[in-house]
Amino acid sequence: MDCLEFRRIAGADPQHVRGGAREHAADCAGCAQHLQRLRAFDERILAALCVPVPAARGPRVATTASGLDRRRWMALAASIVGGVLVGSLLWVGSPRSSLARDLVEHMGHEPHSLTSSAPADGTTLESVLERAGIRLRPGLGTVSYANSCEFRGHTVPHLVVQTERGPVTVMVLRHESAGAPVRFDEQGFSGSIVPAGPGSIAVIGGAGTDLEQVTAEVLAAVTWL
Amino acid sequence: MNAPFAGKDGEAAFASLCDALRPDLFRFAFWLARDRGVAEDVVQEALLRAWRSRESLADAAAAKPWLLTIIRREHARLFERRRHETVPLDELVADGSPELAADDTDQETLDLRRAIFALEADHREPLVMQVLMGLSTQEIADQLGLTQAAVLSRLFRARQKLRAALGVPAGGEAD
């Protein structure tokens, strides 16, 4: 692959440069630098795309252009509130699960994962995500740790993301299904396990960390391949 | 997995998913319509339809592309209706729309936002799908009914146009 071909490929999808293109970047300093610039520009594009989002609308009487009426909206709102309520009950009332214990114990095996806030090596992160069959949208926060870990008989991505609420550990559990969101407090950590893709995602922070927003952001950022 | 969003647990899971995805679904609809009011209507109607059809979704991992498909259909419906009823598109998307400067965004981001706003839909939509929604080029091709090669070409051109609009040195060709 020559530089021109590499730049055509990277210019269309700079976050997922694979195979021959990746090998080319490893051998060509100019193209590696070019790729970094493309990725930095993508971060700017993402920031620009993230326009402010209005608060969710509640039920309303006024019809939209599509002719929604109050009754339909009430039905939808009731359904959603019901769903959230079920989720909330499970969130608060769930007993300690063995999965939660295993997650926190696993974190204990890798205490170094929380010691640095510097960005993890990009190539390592890419490899961890690729192995897990997921993509992580840029903009979630700085990923300061990325490792492919053995967990309950499977290789899973173990990430640490620096957020406004402090570092949180994210483990993407393709093989662990969760019927509903579960919250846990275990050994000084607070965590949540939420259904996602074919399995679930665990988000774990320090004791008392408000994880609701972070968990929503993680859910929205992970794409399953 | 069969009907992951069926039953009470499924309702809760689907509500959580919609809650998490709603901001990006709104943003996607906004960049599709280039109008906040239209985007809100599109997302509301799309989530209503999705809620009613959630039990038909057999694969939870496909939820995001599925929701995007519904958003795109709703947008097409609404756009078609409003095109005949209201203002011309050129007026709706006039450069410098206050919608882009409605927050305390820095100038650099605002300039880029305007440049994205001005991109043709053929370039803007796949770019938003890729960068904002995290779709693969194959998924974008499926959504748009294009070949993957055509999608790659549009994505390349979209970034090239944005760089040109902002005066960023060209990066598509060898230096």
Residue A16 lies in a domain: yes
Predicted model pTM: 0.67
What's the complex ipTM?
Answer: 0.87
> Across the interface, do B4 and A225 touch by the CB < 8 Å criterion?
no
Say how many domains are in chain A: 3
Residue A79 lies in a domain: yes
Q: Clarify whether residues A108 and A205 are in a common domain.
A: yes
Distance CA A23, CA A110 (A): 30
Residue A53 lies in a domain: no
Site from A9, A31, A49 to mutate, B interface, most B CB atoms within 10 angstroms? A49
In this prediction, what percent of chain B has a pLDDT beyond 90? 41
Residue A54 lies in a domain: no
Q: Clarify whether residues A137 and A216 are in a common domain.
A: yes
Q: Clarify whether residues A139 and A99 are in a common domain.
A: yes
Three-state secondary-structure class, residue A156: strand
User: Which amino acid is it at A19?
Assistant: G
Q: Clarify whether residues A7 and A101 are in a common domain.
A: no
User: Residues B36-56: pLDDT tens digits?
Assistant: 888 999 999 999 999 888 888
Is B175 an interface residue toward A (CB < 8 Å)?
A: yes
Distance CA B5, CA B152 (A): 33
> Across the interface, do A179 and B137 touch by the CB < 8 Å criterion?
no
First to last CA, chain B: 49
- Contact between A222 and A136 under an 8 Å Cβ cutoff? The reply is yes
- Torsion from C-alpha of A130, A132, A138, A139, nearest 10 degrees: -160
> Across the interface, do A68 and B48 touch by the CB < 8 Å criterion?
yes
pLDDT at B158 exceeding the cut of 90: yes
Q: Clarify whether residues A38 and A85 are in a common domain.
A: no
> Across the interface, do B131 and A53 touch by the CB < 8 Å criterion?
no
Q: Clarify whether residues A72 and A141 are in a common domain.
A: no
Give residue A172's pLDDT: 94
pLDDT at B90 exceeding the cut of 80: no
The tokens of A26 are what?
């490893």
Nearest to A195 among B60, B99, B175 (CB): B60
Q: Clarify whether residues A32 and A135 are in a common domain.
A: no
Q: Clarify whether residues A141 and A206 are in a common domain.
A: yes
Is B55 an interface residue toward A (CB < 8 Å)?
A: no
Place of tokens 């309520």: A85
Residue A71 lies in a domain: yes
Give residue A56's pLDDT: 67
Residue A34 lies in a domain: yes
Lowest mean pLDDT among A113-122, B85-94, B154-163: B85-94
Q: What is the CATH number of the domain that holds A131?
A: 3.40.1000
> Across the interface, do A45 and B19 touch by the CB < 8 Å criterion?
no
Q: Clarify whether residues A7 and A42 are in a common domain.
A: yes
Give residue B2's pLDDT: 62
pLDDT band at B174 (very low <50, low <70, confident <90, very high): very low
Q: Clarify whether residues A29 and A75 are in a common domain.
A: no
pLDDT < 50: residue spans in chain A: 58-75, 77-96
Letter string b/e over residues B123-148, b meaning 16 or more CB atoms within 10 A of that residue's CB: bbbbbbbbbbbbbbbebbbebbebee
The contacts of residue A101 (CB under 8 Å, 6+ apart) are A186
Q: Which of residues 64-123 of B touch A (CB under 8 A)?
A: 64, 74, 77-78, 81-82, 85, 99-100, 102-103, 108-109, 112-113, 116
Is B46 an interface residue toward A (CB < 8 Å)?
A: no
Give residue B171's pLDDT: 53
Mean pLDDT of chain B: 81
Q: Clarify whether residues A39 and A83 are in a common domain.
A: no
> Across the interface, do A51 and B18 touch by the CB < 8 Å criterion?
no
Q: Clarify whether residues A111 and A210 are in a common domain.
A: yes
Residues of B in contact with A9 (CB under 8 A): 152
Distance CA A174, CA B45 (A): 31
Residues of A in contact with B159 (CB under 8 A): 11-12, 38, 41, 45
Nearest to B41 among A30, A64, A82 (CB): A64
| Number of Cβ atoms within 10 Å of the Cβ of A109 | 12
pLDDT band at B124 (very low <50, low <70, confident <90, very high): very high
Where do the domains of chain B lie, and which CATH numbers do they carry?
A: 1-93 (1.10.1740), 95-168 (1.10.10.10)
Q: How distant is the Cα of A146 from the closest Cα of chain B, in angstroms?
A: 19
Domain that holds residue A173: 95-224
Residue A55 lies in a domain: no
> Across the interface, do B112 and A45 touch by the CB < 8 Å criterion?
yes
> Across the interface, do A51 and B163 touch by the CB < 8 Å criterion?
no
Of B96 and A220, which is predicted with more confidence?
A220
